[in-house]
Structure 1
């Protein structure tokens, strides 16, 4: 009936006045669908740290949808009063309002103004929001009666299919309030730093006045016009009896500037408290089909889906990482510094930091390349990790039963023929010239402890001959470090492959977790806009080496942090272990170290303003000249400062000593088994990793048949697998020899009667 009345009494005359054929209007109405699908409104995605602190927001439109029950009653009353005070009394069309607008429009030249109900305004906003082409956007905003008729038809359908409260809720969530704030919740946060449910009458009047002209009435840019518009709303509320005229006048006297408390909503990772971690999270999630079938769909979901993303970052650790990197490498240095922290046993990424800030100002050292994560997540190629790769051969050697006490003579330089290296298919087939390898740390005999702690190249080259190349390369891959096929050459153990701090931190975290390798995990959970769990991301872990092997590696690498080790000057007040790395020509240096609860990898690489890799030697980095770069002196202090800053929050936990009965060559203390039975003593020594030999009987006060002593004695350090000799007690201690010469010949012959323990009483004759 309403449609018929409108067409017969209003549409045709109006169309004639504005030059639009009535038949075109009516034909357009017939062609329209009976209802309009109201698609979900875009909402901003929020990213939180491990403790629930917001670290970043992503959005195309700054909007947070809220139900009508979460919007204050003053706000609801204000918007209804100024936009459509009869909203709950009429249908889709407010006939009085439309007629009033028609009379006003004709008096002003026939332009289409006012008269729209809240439902019609919601329809217009929905059409504009859902427009995908320029033509659709133009049709949603054209100043014609044809548009008004289209909106009315859709409005009638909405009124038929939805409640008034549903329509008002959608209107308050879709409306634009200015300065980038879409919807009443985002507007309340932006202009007043509070939620929509907490808006008072004065704040509500301000926001209600904005929807008519969000730009012209912007309270920040146009405070006088905004205040005047707010007062119009207050007057309207008084006119309708929502508040008294006296109260309205009192409220109007408060300057709008004193009511504002602007809260900006940063958009994107660049404005985040952890920009490169945020960037890593975004790129990591863009690989997950849970957000969509294609990268484009996933990106749309990320920026418009209103997701809640719970991550693993710890802002205390992030600050420590940022501060340390920034103090040692400046943005415009001819070098790049980076650091990553990973939790052993979960793979949770706790911090990512680099010296070059996020941005496009190259003169200020800014970049969008994320140097601390793998290329597929950050677009940077990485850097050669130097001797940090040696641990893969070390672990393989231990796993193969090579004793830690194994001594290898390591000269200053040597050539090792190609065929001495075994790969997975047999002897390595190189160019026939062999591997010319040299040291920078001296020469001599080294065992697995000293050879690793001094990082001796020729020692590890010969150890690789013993282990072969196949197992160490597989172990590296299992620990998250994949060496390209072209670089699977004997010298790969010197770190000739490109890597990144995150990759090395998660690899070393495997040792800290006693052989359990976990893939890096930046996100634990994603929830949709309704709060329902979209996906939980469980830790992806696998035991890649025996716990005993990892214990032995830890026992060796903790020596790097002890007096005499390369890391002694950066050691913290918790048990720690580590390994230095320096590549050829000192173009990059590393320090990868860990405690049982956190693994951290720090790196500094030479890079000039053209993006070309250069040597660190001769550079001024962090305000200090570098004459010759080493992992311990350039990257190590970054590690040390960051770890010292978080040490107080780390639980005190020591590494587990390697079991001598499983690892050959462990330097262990011989247990004191004197007084024990032979069977019990043997079991104790064997459980400590030693072989046991029978040394026969000795005179002793210890009970007969029990252990009198061992060789070496208890408390002595010995390599596991070495032999400890047991001596059992006779239970007899002969009396001391007599000094009485007069009786010397009496019983001298008895010396032979008591075996080896016989003593002549005669004073020297036997």
Structure 2
């Protein structure tokens, strides 16, 4: 750069303004010189050019608006890690202050060394170029100032039609004069620093890198502010011919061009000839450190989550009034999108799904993880990777999210829907201890089911429902834990259809009108893992339902907040109801439950789901801090849904598919990977004074004072009775035992009898002794004899 002090930002000085007044006269002089000096054959060309110039000048506006340059949008995970970039042009705008001085000096030296000394037109360079070009056949190249080059790039960038793009690049004097007029306007209205800054940000440096910051990142893996002299000379040399001088494809030409820049800088005294010679000897290949900039979701670290984020934001008018405008903003707006994904959980989810369902299997595996209380989507994964190779198992369909965000219809969710009737039964005050005799199969008349308008009017044949888990008499605990169909069909006759369906909708699961039939509780409508995970998260959050949220904040290219996305939550059931559901579903994860083999080291609850003909199987489970739904569905190479029975999935033959055995292990692996980073938090016990028939384990109060033991038992919801004293080794006056014994599950309000200790243990009976003395086994006979 010239050693002349830089002018401050603001209006140009009077000298520069005055110089522009002579520009048009200078153009006339140039044209006159050409007419006088060139041979007759060129006179016609000059005349034509003059006419073009005259016509063009009359029709030109005085200036053009310099629109904001497109910049790439970056998507970050919850911890600030970059997961994806979106762009039409790989560009990151930076101020001139964030570009190294060697880079500024190099670009000015090779492109327009008198940039800070002349106005819009460098008369010496332009006259020389005009004469040289005429002598070589009339092409219009060279001689342009940096301002003129910036104008050309701006016209090309802002061209919206083929005609405008052609006009911005045509090799005619008319184009040069148009550029000159606009250059005059820019120099009049902006400082030299502003013009140079825009030039360095708009210029193309090759191999997909637009602007000096992206070029610095791409070729040297550093920021523009950190470019050294050798790197700066390389980039400065690229703008003349980004393809021909590409240092990756054409290293010899790129090195030669770099050395030209170094020589020019030496000529101008920016560096010594000795230093230029020393730098020129370094092979260009040893200076490069290529950094790729993946574009789009397919190259993302979480492709389907990225795709979900994009489609989610395309619904939000903050990015534009139409989907087209929003897409343009996403790809060109330089946005910063902060999301909710946790890459550690995402990796665990990806590994869990891919290890149990291979991408070319006749099945699709999927999983979603949602945080209760916020709706934050922590991970989504599926077995079929993103791509167009269908034979290789690739797809662009996102099977894990709702159709409006992923284009997939979803899958029948099976018995995961039963929880909506369970929760509504609790809401309606049906005791958890309620027992229902549930045969293997039965027919229930249509009119036994009430919908919102009265008795359900079916086809008159009733609902023929059968079990796959056996028959018997079950209460709400055992009927849910064993997922007994005939139990829930009869429970639905008590709750009605209307309120459970309404609760399901409030929890984010909307059943289509055509499928609002009694059998809806068996999950006959399509769903997806994200929908099920967020519904079950409602129980984990004690009745607070939150809409799934993949994005927390969007910033514009200047770092200003475009929109904060707050959690969208609503209490849809009493906390006590959710507590009761949690108490029931945690039994699935305990010994004897379907999920005992996949339980993690944190308190958890879950529910299986298997649809008709075993075409899809599910496992939905959660802790108080994370909710996860896993699914496997049969699908052949034609995209047709098929039964999982008889398939080889993940290298394992499946004779008969169930949620606990096929989907459950995916859930277990993903949750085990996440568990070390989850806090230890237990579910809240359901309050017996609000939930009828709560089954609670009798606490062990042995050895406590009777008063303290009574208080603990009453706090657990039991009625306490005094059973008197018994002989025991426990200290006298403390509790010796209870009936029922500790660990027995009882309903709220049931009676627990406390037996105090005498502190005395009678000696063993002797031969020939009085059989009546201790015949009752508790020592009370002997006590009476002694008394």
Same fold (TM over 0.5): yes
Q: Distance in 2 between matches of 1:717 and 1:405?
A: 14
Q: Distance in 2 between matches of 1:192 and 1:234?
A: 18
Structural mapping, 1:603-618, within 5 Å: 603-618=631-646
TM-aligned CA distance change 1:712 to 1:443, over 3 Å: same
Which of 5, 23, 29 is the aligned partner of 1:3? 23
How far has the Cα of 1:617 moved from its partner? 0.5
TM-aligned CA distance change 1:670 to 1:174, over 3 Å: same
Q: What secondary structure, in the 3-state scheme, does the structure 2 residue paired with 1:135 have? A: helix
Residue of structure 1 in register with 2:3 after alignment = none
How far has the Cα of 1:728 moved from its partner? 12
Q: Distance in 2 between matches of 1:137 and 1:451?
A: 71
Q: Distance in 2 between matches of 1:762 and 1:57?
A: 90
How far has the Cα of 1:17 moved from its partner? 3.4
Contact 2:580 2:691 in 1 (8 A): yes
Residue of structure 2 in register with 1:513 after alignment = 541
Residue of structure 1 in register with 2:5 after alignment = none
Q: What secondary structure, in the 3-state scheme, does the structure 1 residue paired with 2:48 have? A: coil
Residue of structure 2 in register with 1:525 after alignment = 553
Q: Which deviations, in whole Å up to 9, do the C-alpha atoms of 1:696-726 show, x marking residues without a partner?
A: x97999xxxx999998568474534434388
Residue of structure 2 in register with 1:135 after alignment = 163
Contact 1:7 1:26 in 2 (8 A): no
Q: Which deviations, in whole Å up to 9, do the C-alpha atoms of 1:439-497 show, x marking residues without a partner?
A: 01111111111111111100111111111111111111111111011101110010001
Residue of structure 1 in register with 2:238 after alignment = 210
2:686 matches 1:658? yes
How far has the Cα of 1:670 moved from its partner? 5.0
Residue of structure 1 in register with 2:603 after alignment = 575
How far has the Cα of 1:107 moved from its partner? 2.3
Q: Distance in 1 between matches of 2:390 and 2:724?
A: 81
Which of 622, 627, 634 is the aligned partner of 2:655? 627
Residue of structure 2 in register with 1:72 after alignment = 100
Residue of structure 2 in register with 1:750 after alignment = none
How far has the Cα of 1:668 moved from its partner? 2.1
Q: What secondary structure, in the 3-state scheme, does the structure 2 residue paired with 1:345 have? A: coil
Q: Which segments of structure 1 move beyond 3 Å, counting only runs of 4 or more?
A: 11-19, 669-677, 680-688, 690-693, 697-701, 706-723, 725-729, 761-764
Contact 2:71 2:89 in 1 (8 A): yes
Residue of structure 1 in register with 2:79 after alignment = 51
Q: What secondary structure, in the 3-state scheme, does the structure 1 residue paired with 2:391 have? A: helix
Structural mapping, 1:6-21, within 5 Å: 6-11=26-31, 13=34, 16-18=44-46, 20-21=48-49
How big is the alpha-carbon RMSD for the aligned residues of Structure 1 and Structure 2?
A: 2.7
Q: Distance in 2 between matches of 1:4 and 1:413?
A: 97
TM-aligned CA distance change 1:75 to 1:639, over 3 Å: same
How far has the Cα of 1:645 moved from its partner? 1.5
2:503 matches 1:475? yes
TM-aligned CA distance change 1:708 to 1:653, over 3 Å: closer
2:204 matches 1:176? yes
Residue of structure 1 in register with 2:777 after alignment = none
Q: What secondary structure, in the 3-state scheme, does the structure 2 residue paired with 1:364 have? A: coil
Which of 467, 471, 486 is the aligned partner of 1:443? 471
Residue of structure 2 in register with 1:746 after alignment = none
Q: Distance in 2 between matches of 1:424 and 1:721?
A: 32
How far has the Cα of 1:572 moved from its partner? 1.1
How far has the Cα of 1:10 moved from its partner? 2.1
Contact 1:342 1:348 in 2 (8 A): yes
User: Structure 2: which 5+ runs fail to align?
Assistant: 1-20, 36-42, 728-732, 759-779
User: Structure 1: which 5+ runs fail to align?
Assistant: 732-756
Residue of structure 2 in register with 1:453 after alignment = 481
Q: Distance in 2 between matches of 1:715 and 1:330?
A: 47
Residue of structure 2 in register with 1:102 after alignment = 130
Q: Distance in 1 between matches of 2:639 and 2:565?
A: 36
Residue of structure 2 in register with 1:594 after alignment = 622
Matched residue count:
731
Q: What secondary structure, in the 3-state scheme, does the structure 2 residue paired with 1:414 have? A: strand
Q: Which deviations, in whole Å up to 9, do the C-alpha atoms of 1:595-618 show, x marking residues without a partner?
A: 111111100000011111000011
How far has the Cα of 1:425 moved from its partner? 1.5
Contact 1:661 1:720 in 2 (8 A): no
Q: Distance in 1 between matches of 2:102 and 2:705?
A: 88
Contact 1:18 1:110 in 2 (8 A): no
Structural mapping, 1:561-572, within 5 Å: 561-572=589-600
Q: Distance in 1 between matches of 2:785 and 2:696?
A: 48
TM-score, scaled relative to structure 1: 0.91
Q: Distance in 2 between matches of 1:238 and 1:725?
A: 98
TM-aligned CA distance change 1:90 to 1:589, over 3 Å: same
Q: Which deviations, in whole Å up to 9, do the C-alpha atoms of 1:399-434 show, x marking residues without a partner?
A: 211111111111000000011111111111111111
TM-aligned CA distance change 1:698 to 1:130, over 3 Å: closer
TM-aligned CA distance change 1:101 to 1:7, over 3 Å: closer
TM-score, scaled relative to structure 2: 0.89
Q: Distance in 2 between matches of 1:233 and 1:260?
A: 17
Contact 1:548 1:663 in 2 (8 A): yes
